[in-house]
Amino acid sequence: MLQYYHGSVAIRVNDSQYILKDNNNGEIYNIDNILEHKGKINYTTGVIDIQFVSADTVYSGITVDDTKNEANIALYRNLSTTEFTFDPTSLKVSEVQDLV
């Protein structure tokens, strides 16, 4: 059984007036056009690279929320596809978190 971890990051600016989210591939959306360009996040180091259009954009602080999602992935080899059956409950993760 393989375990797979995937993250989701939300950056809340000015008490959630703006919420910047990543796309789970290291890019941070610029939906409200408050960034100079699309931001980046390095999931390995945790470094977030964002540059605001104006320093006045941030007047009440920045909060970063991180949600790590876990999934169990079954890997089977050399099995007959005509005779193989499995118990679906064996693939359920023990704890599920909602994405922000």
Q: pTM for the full model?
A: 0.57
pLDDT tens sequence across 41-86: 887 888 899 999 988 888 888 888 876 655 556 666 777 667 766 6
Query: Domain boundaries in the chain?
Result: 2-91
Where do the H-state alpha helices sit in 12-80?
A: none
With helix as H, strand as E and coil as C, how does the chain read? CEEEEEEEEEEEECCCCEEEEECCCCEECCCCCCECCCEEECCCCCCEECCECCHHHCCCCEEEEEEEEEEEECCCCCCCCCCCCCCHHHHCCCCCCCCC
